[in-house]
Amino acid sequence: MTRREAIAACHEVTVSYGSGSASVVALADVDLTIGRGESIALWGPSGSGKTTLLHVLGGLVSPTLGTVSWKGELLSSLDARARTRARARGIAYIFQSANLLPHFTAFENVAFAVDVSEAADRNRDPEELLSLVGLTAKLDALPAELSGGEAQRVAIARALGQRPELLLCDEPTGHLDSDTGERVLNLIDALHDELGFAFVTATHDADVAARFDRTLELSDGHVVDEQTAQW
C-alpha cells in the first residue's frame, strides 16, 4: 500500500466531560493519522466516542488532553475564531440529521457554504453541485419540504461546496432507509473517488465500515481495533 501524505492527525487525545465523580471520559488516548484522500470508518456502538472523535478532528470540540493537527497546524491550540477559519479552509461535515439551515432553501444552504468557504477553489455553482446529487428540481425547497434522503443529499452538496480536503460524516445514513442509505453512500464514494478528499465516517454498521480503506473500532472511548482493507 502506498503511504499517503498526512493531512490531519490526533495524538493521545482524551476528551472528558464534567469533573470529579461525575466525570465522563468520551475519548481516551486516541491516536489517528489521516492521509490525503484516505477513507476511514470509525465503527462502534452508540456512546463509543465516534462522534466526539469526528468533532475533535474538525475542531468543534477541544480535547482535554493531547493534540490535534490539520495540515500541519495545531488545531487544538487555536481559539474558536481560528478553528472556525481552519474549517473554512477545507473541513466539511455531514451530520446524521443533515442539519440543514432551516430558513434557507436547498440552493441557499449550498450557496451559504460556498460563500463562507475559504478554500482555494471556492467558486462553485450551487446549482451545479445540487445537480451533482440529483436535486435540480428541489433548488428552492426549504429543508422542511425535503425528505430525509433529499436533505442528506443537500448536506452532501453543501459539503462539496466547501471544497473539502477532509470530509467528516457522522452516521450519514443513520436516519435513512436502507435503499436510500445505500444510494447516499454510493454517491459519497463516487464523489470521494472523483474529488480525492480524505473521508472519515462514523458508523455503527459493519457493512458500511467495510467499504472504507481503514476501520477503527471504538469502544468506551478507546480504539480497540484497527483494520486495513485488503483490496
Partner 1 sequence: MVTAARLAAAGLARAPGKTLVRVLVLAASVALLGGMLLFVGNSLRTMSGSAVRGVPLDWQGPVGSFAQDKRVAADVARQPGVLQASPVATAPFAGAAHSAGGAITNAGKGSLLAVPPSYLDHIGTFRFLQGGFKRGGVVLDQQMAATLKARIGDKVALTPRAGAPPQRYAVSGVALVTAPDQLFQPLDPQLGPAPAQPPANVAIVDVATFAKRYAPALRTIAPANPGANVQPGAQNGVQWQVQAQLDPGPLSHGSPRAALKRADQTRNRVERSLPGQVQFVDNLSDELNTAAGDALYAETLYIMLALPGALVALGLAYLAALGTVDRDRRDISLLRARGAARRDLLALAWAESLAIGVVAGLLGAGVGLAAVELLVSGGAQLTVARALLTVGVCVLVATAGALAARLAASWSSLRGTVAEGRRKTQRERKPLWQRLYLDLIALGLSGLIYWLTARTGFSAVVNPDSNPTLSLSVYMFFAPALLWIGATLLLVRLRGSALAWVARRAAGGRATTMRGFMAVSAGRRGDAINRGLVIVALLLAFGVNLGIFSATYDQQARIDAQLTIGADVVATAPPGIVTKQDLPGKIASVSGVKSTTALDHSYAYVGPDLQDTYGVDPATFTKATSLRDSYFLGGTAKQIMSRLASTRDGILISKETITDFSLRPGDLLKLRVLDQRSGRFHVVPFHVAGVVQEFPSAPKDSFMVANLSYLQAADHSAGPNVVFAKTGGHASAVARRVTTATRADGTRVQSIDQQTAKTVSSITTVDLTGISHIEEAFVILLTAGAMALFVALAILERRQEFATMASLGAPLGRIGAFVWSEAGIVLGAGVVLAAGLGWLLSKMLVAMLTHVFDPPPDGLAVPWGFLAGLGGAALVATALATALATRRLRSLPLGEVLREQ
Classify burial at 192, counting beta carbons within 10 Å of its beta carbon; exposed 0-12, middle 13-18, buried 19 or more: middle
Of the two residues 41 and 155, which places its CB atom closer to partner 1 in the complex? Answer: 155
Classify burial at 216, counting beta carbons within 10 Å of its beta carbon; exposed 0-12, middle 13-18, buried 19 or more: buried
Of the two residues 143 and 149, which places its CB atom closer to partner 1 in the complex? Answer: 143
Q: Pick the closest to residue 142 from 134, 151, 133 (CA basis).
A: 151
Of the two residues 67 and 227, which places its CB atom closer to partner 1 in the complex? Answer: 67
Contact 214, 38 (CB under 8 A): yes
Of the two residues 98 and 214, which places its CB atom closer to partner 1 in the complex? Answer: 98
- Residue 225 CB, shortest distance to partner 1, in Å, is 25
Strands 73-74 and 6-17: unpaired
- Residue 44 CB, shortest distance to partner 1, in Å, is 16
- Residue 226 CB, shortest distance to partner 1, in Å, is 24
- Residue 151 CB, shortest distance to partner 1, in Å, is 13
Contact 120, 164 (CB under 8 A): no
- Residue 158 CB, shortest distance to partner 1, in Å, is 7
Q: Residue numbers of the site for partner 1 (CB under 8 A)?
A: 51-52, 55, 58, 60-61, 80-81, 84-85, 87-89, 91-93, 95, 97, 99-105, 107-108, 111-113, 115-118, 126, 139-140, 142, 144, 158, 162
3-state secondary structure of 106: helix
Of the two residues 15 and 214, which places its CB atom closer to partner 1 in the complex? Answer: 15
Q: Tell me 191's DSSP state.
A: H
